Amino acid sequence: MDATTEALQDDAGTFPHLDRDTSNCSIARTLEVVGEKWTILILREVWYGSSRFSEFERVLGCPRNLLAARLKMLVEEGILATETYQEPGSRSRPKYVITPKGADLVPAVMGLLQWGDRYRADPEGPAMLSRHRGCGAHVDAQIRCDQGHAVQPEDIESIPGPAFRLRPAE
Amino acid sequence: MDATTEALQDDAGTFPHLDRDTSNCSIARTLEVVGEKWTILILREVWYGSSRFSEFERVLGCPRNLLAARLKMLVEEGILATETYQEPGSRSRPKYVITPKGADLVPAVMGLLQWGDRYRADPEGPAMLSRHRGCGAHVDAQIRCDQGHAVQPEDIESIPGPAFRLRPAE
DNA sequence: CCTCTGAGTTTACTTTTCCATACTCAGCTA
DNA sequence: TAGCTGAGTATGGAAAAGTAAACTCAGAGG
């Protein structure tokens, strides 16, 4: 940890957050990849079991050109990978499967899912439920610290990290 | 639980997911609220300490009309609430604070944050770090079941819920 | 060789969203 | 009552997304 970072961290809570350079924000960078329309919904369908172009098209009702563009981007980003499948009597064709990098998006998507379940579900409840395979208990996304404590949003402290930078003067 | 849902749940894993009605998906509904550009970044700035219109504008560099529209929507949705502040010598003006409903989005945003930290951070690391106030340990979003087990993405089983519907025939 | 099928690509058009800038408005001070 | 400031609103053009339909392409089967 360099001296600048150290100094800023000592000042945690009162660091100059309004003057920081926000171009290297991890939230913004994740949204550059998954923030476009259809992208997260494609991933949702992957974990519900779809893998073929025609399946995504059918269940999402999304334009083919956008679907092709999003799938291509997800493969280029390493979130999906292509494999091949072959129906009897047909030639082999590509299908899309999740990679470990893609699976690491699950906590974020679970977070969106459970917020929608809580605040925007139909009166009778959610359309889909998630449970732990085997134990069968309901699962959800939650925040924990490395000591194993459950953490409430108001007990999260955000402090400058190693790549913290101030905005260049205008 | 009605008979249809029961039947579908017995069939978990092989339910007709390609024929389901996806219009009541909780992920899609959450994205209707927070999926537009700037919305999540506004919330990020709220937990980093901003509350005033001019602060959001300055740190985000977002167009004023979009900022006004997003703030208005977030207040209408109950994610932010307005309070007033008054600088000495100035009239009172509105500021924006997070509500409990807004705080419930933290797991989703933490999920996006940690994915970006892992895969898209600068070589030296993240721009910001999150720690548990008091204990000081690093915090992250993770998936757990109600039995307290940590759950890996591949051990999540998605099954039809009470609002599961098949798509109307075409 | 012809046809069929899934997986795209291409094109043309409409609609929505985004962006930059100019303008307005309310109240506090001079 | 004129000017200043923070918080917006209005507007016009650019970019992205959505829609629909035609077109391509690579094999398997006939």
The predicted-structure confidence for B117-169, as pLDDT tens digits, reads as follows 999 999 999 999 999 998 999 999 999 999 999 999 999 999 999 999 998 77
pLDDT digits (tens, 9 = 90+) for B47-68: 999 999 999 999 999 999 999 9
- Which of A31, A40, A122 is the closest to B40 by Cβ? A31
The two structure tokens encoding residue B151: 């759950």
Closest residue of chain A to B50, computed from CA coordinates = A18
Name residues whose C-beta falls within 8 Å of residue B128's C-beta, 6 or more positions apart in sequence: A25, A26, A158, A159, A160, A161, A164, B48
The enclosing H or E element of A82 equals strand A80-86
Asked whether B24 and A127 are in contact (CB, 8 A), the reply is yes
Tens of pLDDT, residues A88-108: 999 999 999 999 999 999 999
Whether CB of A27 is under 7 Å from strand C: the answer is: no
Structural domains in chain B, sorted by start: 16-99 (1.10.10.10), 105-157 (no CATH)
* Six token digits for residue A146: 């490395």
Strand C: positions under 7 A of a protein C-beta atom: 5-12, 17-22, 26-29
Tell whether the torsion through CA atoms of B141, B143, B145 and B148 is positive or negative. Answer: negative
Q: What is the mean pLDDT of chain B?
A: 91
Question: B3 or B119, which is more confident?
Answer: B119
Nearest residue by alpha-carbon distance to C1' of C27: B91
Least confident range from A16-20, A103-107, A127-131: namely: A16-20
Mean pLDDT is lowest, of A7-21, A34-48, B83-97, B113-127, for A7-21
CA distance A49 to chain B (A): 8
